[in-house]
A and B are shown apart, each in its own frame.
Chain A
Amino acid sequence: MADNVEIVEGCRLPVLRKNQEHEDEWPLAEILSVKEVSSRKLYYVHYIDFNKRLDEWVTGDRLDMKKLQFPKKEAKTPTKNGLPGSRPSSPEREVRKSLDLNVQSATAPSRGKTLPTPKRKVEAVSLATQVPPATPVPSLPSSTEASQASVFPAVRDPNTFKSREDHEPISSLTTNGTARRLIPSQPGRKRKANCGGTDEDSQDSSDGIPSAPRMTGSLVSDRSHDDIVTRMKNIECIELGRHRLKPWYFSPYPQELTALPILYLCEFCLKYLKSLKCLQRHLTKCNLRHPPGNEIYRKGTISFFEIDGRKNKTYSQNLCLLAKCFLDHKTLYYDTDPFLFYVMTEYDSKGFHIVGYFSKEKESTEDYNVACILTLPPYQRRGYGKLLIEFSYELSKVEGKTGTPEKPLSDLGLLSYRSYWSQTILEILMDLKPDNGERPQITINEISEITSVKKEDVISTLQYLNLINYYKMWLFSYKKYGQYILTLSEDIVDGHERAMQKRHLRIDPKCLHFTPKDWSKRGKW
């Protein structure tokens, strides 16, 4: 049966994947794209409720066709049926999109909302209304607002295939705006649902007339540009020095390079080259052996280079392109002028190899001391990320400010920062000595000042570690008395001590040669 069904974009079905224990799993996935390579169909799947970085091209035999769910009429996943192999940004696609827009009601949620949530998944399963494959009806783009299901319970008929005609009334029903307005917003999507206005914008963005994103910061949080193109990885492999990296996300490298099996990068200037030969030739001309900036920190083999996004555009752009491969929310919409880039390198006899970097706004309106931060995959889970974070706070200490990373954080970012914050705060709390017999005390502000960690982050960490408690007692047996206290439990202390033993890489403030510039006094960054 599965053979005669054409799987189109937007379909959902369980897809086989190996988990970390190398066991087979069949998580539900969404087909984002279909292509044919040497008469074999490949499907780009996004595992719902897994990070996009795990999205991949799979062969048909990994799909569980029995549980196929066709996209709802207004399935927002853009359908590109009948156009095998068409690239996301092909002209036809653009036309289609604009057509879609016309059909779409103004209140149609943006594509950006298509991100799956658990709840939706459940409903989507039951929802599975089908569009006959290859019907050019894609013009009902639409949101996967799952709660539609409850509005039209009758439609639920997962595995039946009806003719398109049968469904037409439904589609018209479902696509009409009033029906949608009835949809209660789901908890998980609350934020987006709240900004109904931005939905329009995000729609526009997929239509090619987007409103430009904000100009501050370096991360996109509203996903207004999360169209099908950017949802898919476009580079298969990047060779950088000794390493071959599998990109996690889309990156706007020149489009002609996206077709290459391997994109070669010069390890030091990060120039992208289409072939090894070109790289070879380039290396005869490129004499960089370190990032083209000033070395503001060196201890052991670890160095930090500061690069001005305005003065060294080429390198900054190349770095951003590379970083985008691993940062989902990073935007490259605007130039790099207002940023400084701090590139961490590890030295060996070949030069200063890039390990990771973070960028930082020269002037931040929101106390951000980090815009984007990345440890390159080969160096991950070895303490470099924490080192980068630590360095960013060292800079803030020199500046005499508290700082916080720009939001949104990625999953790995959250874990890394939490870990850093926990260790930093615990370090301080454990070092507190009783003050002439009194119990040691500290205020949140003090912690913030010592660490340069923004107050909110301190509080959230204390909460997360469950250190902060409201301790109450009876005074004189009739009056209740309560106060906040910090309690260090045994397992916290032990865990911290163990973690600190493993944390070898530390930033040595003495090795930092950094004078903050007052960018506000300069005309330009």
Chain B
Amino acid sequence: MSKLSFRARALDASKPLPVYRSRDLPDLADCGSINRAVPQMPTGMEKDEELEHHLQRAISAKQVFREKKENMVIPVPEAESNATYYDRLYRGDVKVPKQPIHIQPWGLDLDQPDYDMDSEDETLLIRLNRKMEIRPLQFETMVDRLEKATTHQLVSLSEAKLLLNEDDFLLQSVYDYWVRKRRSYGAPPFRCGAPPLRCGAPPLTPRVKQERRDGSTNGDAYVAFRRRTEKMQTRKNRKNDEASYEKMLRLRREFSRTVSILEMIKRREKSKRELLHLTLEEVERRYQMEDFSGETLREVSLPLVEKPAYSIPVTLNNRHRTDIKTVFQKKPVSVTDQLPFNLMRPKQTARRDRAGPPQRRPCRPAGPFTVNKADIQQYDFHSSGEEDSPPPPLSPSSSSEEEEEEENHPDGVYVFRRKAGCQYLSPGTKQAGGVDPALLQLPPCVRHSLAELILPPHWTGLSRRRIGRGGRILLDRASSVLDPVLKQLDQKPPLTSGATAASLTEVLSNIQTLRRFCFRPRPVQGPREGGTRTTESSLEDNRVTCCLSPRNNSGGITEEQYHIHQRQLIQMQKQQLEKLQNPVLYRHPAPCGTQSTKSSESSSKTLDSASAQFAASAVISAAPPPPPPPPPRGHVTTENKPYKANGVLHPSGPSRPPYSSSSSLSRLGLSARGSSSSSSSSSSSPQSLPNQRNQLGSVSLTHQHTARPSVPPTSALKLAAAAAAAATASLDRAPKVSTARDSHESERPLNGLSETTLPMEVT
């Protein structure tokens, strides 16, 4: 019939199967059961074993009889269960605990010896027991220890003695017995004739053969329970899962980035369209207005254009800085006059328009203004910078700090960025010369004050003391409109480096001058940076340090250095004397009428630090004479530290008279000197206030305006860093520096009022 053509569907495990009794389906046989659609399941046995007679017989028997038949079972080797001595062997009865047995798996290994005594041992024990008492357990423990201590070689007797804390005789007998037994253990004739393969003497405690590291036992059927070297992979896909999970994460990240990029593109295109519309509108309007020359447009748009330029100074990192700004607004009114001419006219008019509040920043639009979109785009600075003059001198934007920070953008992501729609107010106005309470609250380190360096390179000007990295004290100089005036104050030191060298000291001072790191404030706009330079970047490199620091001890003090030092000291003393006689040398820069008393105060503070500097150098120079090497160096640095701390932490507040602070400093210096028990104690004579000042001058670098172009580093004071070679090197460097300076000098007129700072490093 069509039976065979009738294809059965595949068996579906989730499909309900009706259950019938065969009596319910009399026609089942007729219908026939077609099993072929159900694939025959494997039995799960090895194929060849599946064919074994007994199994086949048993299976067929089961099929036939539906029951096990006694003679159809698979025969197995017999087992007996009639050990008669069982009850003697396993003594004692065990009660079933009520609770299920719970065992601590780690507590199973009791301190029982693994070795079990055999009958041979028993005879020995009986023999031994005639002479002494030895319990089987004791014996087993002994053998067990010997066995466990044995690896490749048998334990020696001496080792055994250490191992077994037993009576000598007992030990000897057991040891001998053990050695004998162990040696003969491999030998006894085995049932099969040939002894099994063994390496070395087999242990008396039989153990399953261990694998050997070299893999030689890999095929040995008697080696069992090998360590699993690789971690068993229990989850096939886990690694994949992890990888794909990470991929998914990345995919997601990338998609979301794409989305945001597209979002931004959309915005940009919208803006573009808007711009286009606006331009169109503008052109139309202009056309309507007949503004073909674009004049009206310029008039309208100019104020907008200047904004970005003026807003630059506002790019301050914090409010703090803003305060500084106010501080520095005590500038002579004449500043405007000194403005370079390259300022655009519109700007000036604008300024005048807004002239109401006193203006510290001549070029800057005072009063609130709204930053427009263009401002936000930092890149616009270029264009605005081109148009605009460099920022006015002394404007906080060009303060050394800012400049520094602008250099490297140390604030990174936290850099202040103007926000569209925000109103940025111009700094509060302060009357020049008025005592600004805010100023008093300022940490002195952020203020520039007029100060003077008496030592070459002589210099008078705005400077500010702060702490540099590593605790060095930096003197930041700021150039200002006052510079020309101040410059005149700077007296050219008798640079008598000529052949007639008046005295040794002079020569020395010249040398010193040549070696100090001291740089003049650099004018803002250097041609080297080109027109594309941003205002900020123009401030770069204006800071140079005067490093007096014994920076590292790596080289130790060379003899040369030592001598230089000595001489220096002498020179300083001399200068001190000089100053004593001529105390006027240090004075407030009188010509700057705008300089407030406060600023003089702060300048004195700066001097404090300078005095600190001196004290430090004094300490340094006080190093013990003849053996100049390292020890004094270390000494110096240690001495220096408190000093520095003093100079830094103790900066006499603005209200504090400069002298007191310097005196305290000098005292410190003195003590330092005393502690170093310097030979040059002459310099450490008790000092009066003017003396202090002289001291100061002697240490601090007097920056000479005339000499400015060539201010080489002074390695003499820079003890730590400077080995003799370094000193010469620095001398070599001098000309280079000077040329650079020269070029700057030449730029200067162009730059007009340059405003920069000049940090000097003092350690």
Contact = CB atoms under 8 A, between A and B. Distances in A.
A, B bound = yes
A351 B96 CA distance: 8
A344 B369 CA distance: 91
A375 to B, nearest CB: 11
Interface string A354-397: 00000000010100000000001110110000000000000000
Interface string B607-647: 00000000000000000000000000000000000000000
B701 to A, nearest CB: 66
Interface string B447-464: 000000000000000000
Contacts of A409: 43-45
26 contacts: A35-B193, A49-B51, A207-B219, A242-B83, A243-B83, A244-B83, A248-B77, A252-B224, A256-B202, A260-B191, A277-B116, A298-B100, A320-B225, A333-B224, A334-B228, A337-B228, A381-B73, A407-B45, A412-B74, A415-B74, A468-B35, A470-B35, A480-B2, A484-B15, A486-B19, A491-B66
Contact of B224 (A321, A363, A457, A469): A321
Contact of A471 (B25, B41, B208): B25
B427 to A, nearest CB: 63
A115 interface: yes
Interface stretch (A3-11, A68-76, A161-169, A183-191): A183-191
Contacts of A227: 219, 221
Contact of A87 (B17, B196, B207): B196
Contacts of A116: 48
Nearest to A275: B118
Given A443-B14, A486-B19, A490-B23, A349 B77 contact: no
A304 to B, nearest CB: 10
B297 interface: no
A150 interface: no
Contacts of A241: 83, 86, 90
B73 A487 contact: no
B107 to A, nearest CB: 10
B48 A312 contact: no
B119 A209 contact: no
A131 to B, nearest CB: 23
Given A87-B197, A283-B91, 13 more contacts: A86-B194, A229-B222, A259-B192, A277-B119, A365-B233, A378-B81, A415-B62, A456-B41, A466-B33, A468-B17, A470-B33, A482-B8, A486-B19
B219 A209 contact: yes
A334 B46 contact: no
Interface in A235-293: 239, 241-248, 250, 252-261, 267, 272-286, 289-290, 292-293
B81 A243 contact: yes
Interface string B24-47: 010010010111011011111111
Contacts of B51: 49, 117-118, 188
A272 to B, nearest CB: 7
Nearest to B59: A415
Contacts of A190: 47
A429 B31 CA distance: 22
A487 B193 contact: no
A347 to B, nearest CB: 6
B408 interface: no
B76 A488 contact: no
A311 B109 CA distance: 11
B224 A188 contact: no
Interface in A206-229: 206-210, 212, 215-216, 221, 223, 225, 227, 229
B22 A335 contact: no
Contacts of B80: 243-244
B103 A351 contact: no
Interface in B96-134: 96, 100-103, 105-106, 108-110, 112-113, 116-119, 122
B547 to A, nearest CB: 57
A242 B18 contact: no
B194 to A, nearest CB: 5
Contacts of A408: 44-46, 49
A499 interface: yes
Question: Sorted from nearest, which 9 A-B pairs have the closest CB atoms?
Answer: A495-B66, A460-B41, A85-B193, A441-B16, A469-B33, A332-B224, A246-B77, A259-B190, A254-B206
A448 B14 CA distance: 10
Given A442-B16, A444-B17, A486-B17, A470 B223 contact: no
Contact of B6 (A248, A405, A472): A472
Q: How many residues of A sit at the interface, in one of the four size bands? A: 35 or more
Interface of B: 2, 6, 8-9, 11-23, 25, 28, 31, 33-35, 37-38, 40-55, 58-59, 62, 65-67, 71, 73-83, 85-87, 89-91, 93-94, 96, 100-103, 105-106, 108-110, 112-113, 116-119, 122, 136-137, 140, 185-186, 190-194, 196-198, 202, 206-209, 215-216, 218-228, 230, 232-236
A473 interface: yes
Contact of A488 (B22, B43, B202, B235): B22
Contacts of B6: 472, 480, 482
A180 interface: no
Given A255-B196, A336-B225, A459-B38, A488 B47 contact: no
Contact of B77 (A54, A206, A250, A293): A54
Contact of A335 (B53, B140, B225): B225
Given A189-B48, A317-B208, A411-B54, A210 B105 contact: no
Contacts of B224: 252, 317, 320-321, 332-333
Contacts of A279: 89, 116
B100 A296 contact: yes
A378 B79 contact: yes
A186 to B, nearest CB: 10
Nearest to A406: B44
Contacts, number: 415
A281 B115 CA distance: 9
A320 B208 CA distance: 12
Contacts of B89: 276, 279-280, 283
Contacts of B59: 415
Contact of B96 (A215, A347, A378): A347
A489 B24 CA distance: 10
A440 interface: yes
Interface string A31-62: 00001110000000000011101100000000
Given A36-B193, A241-B90, A380-B76, A441 B17 contact: yes
A377 B77 CA distance: 8
A329 interface: yes
A292 B17 contact: no
A254 to B, nearest CB: 4
Given A87-B196, A444-B11, A492-B66, A256 B206 contact: yes
Contact of A312 (B96, B105, B118): B105
A84 interface: yes
A359 B487 CA distance: 98
A89 B196 contact: yes
A293 B233 CA distance: 27
B206 A468 contact: no
A90 B105 contact: no
Contacts of A295: 100-102
A116 B42 CA distance: 20
Nearest to A439: B18
A246 B78 contact: yes
A341 interface: no
A230 B40 contact: no
A494 interface: yes
B22 A513 contact: no
A277 B122 contact: yes
B215 to A, nearest CB: 8
A87 B196 CA distance: 7
B94 A289 contact: yes
Contacts of B40: 460, 463
A90 B197 contact: yes
B81 A317 contact: no
B191 A440 contact: no
